[in-house]
Chain A
């Protein structure tokens, strides 16, 4: 029988792909650490990491080492996890809602987060005791609960869930605009705008710990649901007929994506495009089966986000562009190539 051989071959291929993925992510993170106003060679970055891990003790430029550790490495790693999380959320939303335009923010999470953020920044709710991130997270979750209730728990069906998400987005965006226009000054309005477009500027190791745990756990949980997501291909009814507990699966997966997205949005703002387009790009390359699609999304999302972060720092000298602007600016041409090359299934 050829079955065992093909299993072994598949296993080897899987390990090889996993290794290649980690290598690719490591290289772009190395690049990201090295590029900036103070260029740092890739080898310095490598030794800085191995020194810290205690594998080597090469003497390095102290300023370089400080920049790597205190600033750039954590930023690059957070960018990678945010990209992975957003792409993963987008793939799950597109499968569950059976809509190619679905993305992580379709259920009103970024709108809710922005309301939470302006409530803290402009209205001063919490009086300094609550951080902007906590406020954004609370707002994001309020929006998610609102959508869940509006689409009658989880039995609402895909269209109803999308409509509830649109309604929630409108409501929370209106609340944000209301607060900004009635209570904010010009500087605050600009700050909010900048925050909404996303920035990796302030992230350090605590953010890395949080986002890596959330995205890492969610990735594992989502991989366990890969076949369930496949079963949704022909709709909720077909999934139920195949033995999927549709209500529980939808609730679990929506909650997972909500936690991931809310964590990311509250940390770095609502970075668009990645969650919408990376899943499509990945689908063109590896097909629609989620056991392959989800890990591919995570890897491609991570690499894409780190590259976008690099671009945001070097496109205009001495100025950092909002990351949300870059993801679209870099992403659209990139996606056009993929559409052109892989657009027609043979």
Chain B
């Protein structure tokens, strides 16, 4: 067991955002979080990362209540990649990745060999090693996201939480980023919008709707025609891909699927 949430409720003012959400992330696996806009994915991820406190219920990490773990200790094992992490500070790629070593260092400690190794490896993994001196402001959106992930990996976490990491990336970068995430041996929790990407790269999926979990399980179990209709209000057919043997979602045009002549109706 790695991160587990039990009966999490959270609200903004009187508006409930999360309602009795329970889930469990298996060690070393990729858990995908799906749901329409405003379904509470980001809030849930922040609570799982310990950045927000649930109003009810508790999050535990290896069985220990996350609230009894110090901020710094938590940051040594959980890394979080935000959705829109921007800065106007003039930093180099290496400076950003080095931030990942923050939780491992005291104000007095020097830069150690372990720090150097973690940063080097993280840069290597994210394919940014040869660009470590480049300015942050000169990077493209895809490169910035890769640097953020490198920073998160430099934290040498056991759990990596990513909030819609493929937003604003072109399809090549989306795929290579998700491939990178799924190749990691650590536990990953990732929120995604693209259902096919979720089917391809996640070991398990959880679907949120209006702050409640409406489905959980393997992509094959979760991605069904009726669920897509109920939760996302789209008509789709799900096939098993002949190329990667994962579920593949084919969306139907709205006008077409309502017409009585449509063959599959």
* Given known A243-B74, A345-B135, contact A234–B87 (CB-CB < 8 A): yes
Contact of A241 among B80, B107, B116, B137 (CB under 8 A): B80
Tell me, rounded to whole Å, the shortest Cβ–Cβ distance linking A204 to chain B: 36
Whether the Cβ atoms of B88 and A100 lie closer than 8 Å is yes
Contact of A98 among B49, B88, B103 (CB under 8 A): B88
Residues in A neighbouring B100, C-beta threshold 8 A = 242
A345 and B95 CA atoms in complex are apart in Å by 15
CB neighbors of A among B64-101 (8 A)? 71-76, 79-80, 82, 85-91, 95-96, 99-100
Please tell me if B51 contacts chain A, counting CB pairs below 8 Å. yes
Give the top 4 A-B pairs by smallest Cβ distance, nearest first: A243-B75, A243-B103, A243-B72, A241-B80
List 19 contacting pairs A-B, 8 Å CB cutoff, sorted by A: A98-B88, A100-B88, A227-B102, A230-B95, A231-B102, A233-B99, A237-B85, A241-B49, A241-B75, A242-B75, A242-B99, A243-B72, A243-B73, A243-B102, A244-B71, A283-B90, A288-B90, A289-B95, A345-B90
Whether the Cβ atoms of B79 and A241 lie closer than 8 Å is yes
A226 and B107 CA atoms in complex are apart in Å by 8
Please tell me if B172 contacts chain A, counting CB pairs below 8 Å. no
A206 and B87 CA atoms in complex are apart in Å by 43
A77 and B155 CA atoms in complex are apart in Å by 44
Residues in A neighbouring B89, C-beta threshold 8 A = 95, 233, 288
Please classify how large the interface on chain A is, using the bins under 10, 10 to 19, 20 to 34, 35 or more.
20 to 34
Residues in B neighbouring A241, C-beta threshold 8 A = 49, 51, 75, 79-80, 82
A224 and B106 CA atoms in complex are apart in Å by 9
A237 and B81 CA atoms in complex are apart in Å by 10
* Given known A242-B102, A243-B72, contact A233–B87 (CB-CB < 8 A): yes
Residues in A neighbouring B88, C-beta threshold 8 A = 98, 100
Residues in A neighbouring B73, C-beta threshold 8 A = 243
Please tell me if A287 contacts chain B, counting CB pairs below 8 Å. yes
Q: Beyond the given A237-B85, A288-B89, A288-B95, please list 18 additional residue pairs across the A-B interface where CB-CB is below 8 A.
A: A3-B116, A98-B87, A100-B88, A227-B102, A233-B89, A234-B99, A235-B87, A237-B46, A241-B80, A242-B75, A242-B100, A242-B102, A242-B103, A243-B73, A244-B102, A287-B90, A287-B95, A345-B137
Tell me, rounded to whole Å, the shortest Cβ–Cβ distance linking A90 to chain B: 15
Contact of B85 among A227, A235, A287, A288 (CB under 8 A): A235
Tell me, rounded to whole Å, the shortest Cβ–Cβ distance linking B234 to chain A: 32
Whether the Cβ atoms of B107 and A227 lie closer than 8 Å is yes
Please classify how large the interface on chain B is, using the bins under 10, 10 to 19, 20 to 34, 35 or more.
20 to 34
Please tell me if A186 contacts chain B, counting CB pairs below 8 Å. no
Please tell me if A240 contacts chain B, counting CB pairs below 8 Å. yes
A95 and B89 CA atoms in complex are apart in Å by 9
Contact of A224 among B71, B79, B85, B107 (CB under 8 A): B107
Interface string of A142-179 (1 = CB under 8 A from B): 00000000000000000000000000000000000000
Interface string of A332-346 (1 = CB under 8 A from B): 000000000000010
Whether the Cβ atoms of A227 and B75 lie closer than 8 Å is no
A345 and B71 CA atoms in complex are apart in Å by 35
Please tell me if B168 contacts chain A, counting CB pairs below 8 Å. no
A203 and B91 CA atoms in complex are apart in Å by 40
Whether the Cβ atoms of B82 and A227 lie closer than 8 Å is no
Residues in B neighbouring A283, C-beta threshold 8 A = 90
Interface string of B147-165 (1 = CB under 8 A from A): 0000000010000000000
A224 and B99 CA atoms in complex are apart in Å by 16
A240 and B50 CA atoms in complex are apart in Å by 9
Whether the Cβ atoms of A243 and B90 lie closer than 8 Å is no
Please tell me if B110 contacts chain A, counting CB pairs below 8 Å. yes
* Given known A241-B80, A243-B76, A283-B90, contact A230–B137 (CB-CB < 8 A): no
A226 and B109 CA atoms in complex are apart in Å by 13
Contact of A243 among B71, B82, B91 (CB under 8 A): B71
Whether the Cβ atoms of B105 and A227 lie closer than 8 Å is yes
CB neighbors of A among B85-143 (8 A)? 85-91, 95-96, 99-100, 102-103, 105, 107, 110, 113, 116, 135, 137
A41 and B82 CA atoms in complex are apart in Å by 60
Residues in A neighbouring B96, C-beta threshold 8 A = 233
In this complex, which of A227, A238, A241, A245 has the most chain B Cβ atoms within 10 angstroms of its Cβ? Answer: A241
Whether the Cβ atoms of A233 and B107 lie closer than 8 Å is no
Residues in B neighbouring A53, C-beta threshold 8 A = none
Please tell me if A7 contacts chain B, counting CB pairs below 8 Å. yes
A234 and B87 CA atoms in complex are apart in Å by 5
Contact of B110 among A7, A234, A287 (CB under 8 A): A7
In this complex, which of A95, A100, A345 has the most chain B Cβ atoms within 10 angstroms of its Cβ? Answer: A345
Residues in B neighbouring A98, C-beta threshold 8 A = 87-88
Q: Closest chain A residue to B51 by CB distance? A: A240
A240 and B82 CA atoms in complex are apart in Å by 11
Residues in B neighbouring A242, C-beta threshold 8 A = 75, 99-100, 102-103, 155
Tell me, rounded to whole Å, the shortest Cβ–Cβ distance linking B139 to chain A: 13
CB neighbors of A among B148-202 (8 A)? 155
A98 and B90 CA atoms in complex are apart in Å by 12
In this complex, which of A7, A95, A243 has the most chain B Cβ atoms within 10 angstroms of its Cβ? Answer: A243
Tell me, rounded to whole Å, the shortest Cβ–Cβ distance linking B256 to chain A: 43
Q: Closest chain A residue to B138 by CB distance? A: A345
Residues in B neighbouring A288, C-beta threshold 8 A = 89-91, 95
